[in-house]
Amino acid sequence: MIQVKHVTKQFIRNKNKHQKESFYADEDLTFDAKDGEIIGILGPNGAGKTTLLRMIAGILEPTSGTITFDGKKYQENEIEIKQNIAYLSGNTKLYDTLSCYELLKMCCDIYGISEQDSQKRIEEISKILKMEPFLYNKIANLSTGQTQKVNIARCFIHDPKYYILDEATTGLDIISSQIILDFIKKEKKRGKTILYSTHYMEEAENICDRVFMIHKGKMLRMGTPKEIKKETNTTNLRDAFFQLIGGASDEE
């Protein structure tokens, strides 16, 4: 189980040429994600989703608050936690000079997967994601969709317990997106914990058990899609979101 308690992230930015100011990317966020659950992190661009997921993935450190994985904190168990995490975002890029196979093999080596199991895992993932035709091609020569598939493959290769997916289907065609969504559903059934950030509200409604709505770094609502729709008296999460922020989008 992932537990996020009162997590705040403060950044310093330039106000003008001579002055700096602090701002909160995320402020006092609290939620949990149980085993076998898909939690949707929903919000518009700039809502603080990526910062939140980066903190959960251990790339950023919260200014305050705690994040635990089955009760374990990064401060004491960083390597053990990262060993069980798969983190994927639109910002995570791959090594252009490597082939897909070389990248996946490197990931297997890093995660300590044996030679024999590595081959098996690479074959398995390539089959699921339909990567066989370009498995030995250099990443630099792949299309956006193919690259995203490789990115997803490197996340799944070590059979992690926790998935932290930030806009995982961005750049993929409808078929590839469906492959990812099916894979996520399958992993959920295997008891994996999945945090799934997206700005496609319909997609979230389809696959998430609960959603965590976030806007301008603050929590709007947490609950099942059904509960949120009922509470806001709407028929879909998109309308529910606008209802919660008090009308039309005021995105900056």
Partner 1 sequence: MKNNLWNILKKELRELFRDKKSLAMMLVIPIFIPLLVIGMSALFESQTNKSVEEFNHIGFAYSLSEEEKQIAKEMKLDVVEGKEQELEKKYQNEEIDLYVTKEENHYIIHSDGSDTSSYATTLVEEYFNLYKQVLQRQYLEDRNVDANEVINAITVEEKVVEEENFFANYIKNYAFLFLIMAITVSATYPATDTTAGERERGTLETLLTFPIKSRDIIVGKFLSVTTSSVITGLISLILAILSLAISKELFSIYEGVDVMYSMTSIFFAVIIIIVYSFFISGLCIAIASTSKTFKEAQSALTPLTFVALFPGMIAFMVGMNTTPLLSIIPFLNYTLIFTDINNGIINGLSIFLMIASTIFYIALVLGYIIHQYKSEKVLFAK
Binding residues for partner 1 (CB under 8 A): 57-61, 78-80, 82-83, 85, 87, 89, 91-98, 102, 106-107, 109-112, 154
Which of 102, 4, 119 lies closest to 52, judged by CA?
4
Closest contact distance (angstroms) between CB of 103 and partner 1 is 9
CA–CA distance, 6 with 8 (Å, rounded to integer): 6
Count Cα atoms within 13 angstroms, Cβ side, for 13: 7
Beta strand extents in 139-209 (DSSP E only): 162-166, 193-198
Q: Report, in angstroms and rounded to the nearest whole number, the Rg of the chain calculated over CA atoms.
A: 19
Q: How far apart are CA 63 and CA 252, in angstroms?
A: 24
Between 33 and 220, name the residue whose CB sits nearer to partner 1. Answer: 33
- Closest by Cα among 197, 166, 222, 184 to 37: 184
Q: How far is the CB of 151 from partner 1 (least distance, A)?
A: 8
CB-wise, 129 or 228, nearer to partner 1? 129
Name the minimum Å distance from CB 59 to partner 1. 5
Looking at beta carbons only, is 63 or 66 nearer to partner 1? 63
Is-contact 60 9, C-beta < 8 A? yes
Q: Smallest distance, Å, CB 94 to partner 1?
A: 7
- The two tokens of residue 239 are 């309308």
Cβ distance to partner 1 smaller for residue 39 or 103? 103
Q: Report the chain's terminal Cα–Cα distance, integer Å.
A: 34
80 or 132, CB closer to partner 1? Answer: 80
Nearest approach, Cβ of residue 178 and partner 1 (Å): 25
Residue closer to partner 1, measured from CB, 45 or 91: 91
Rounded to a whole number of angstroms, the minimum distance from the CB of residue 172 to partner 1 is 18
The two three-digit tokens of residue 174, written as one number: 């409808």
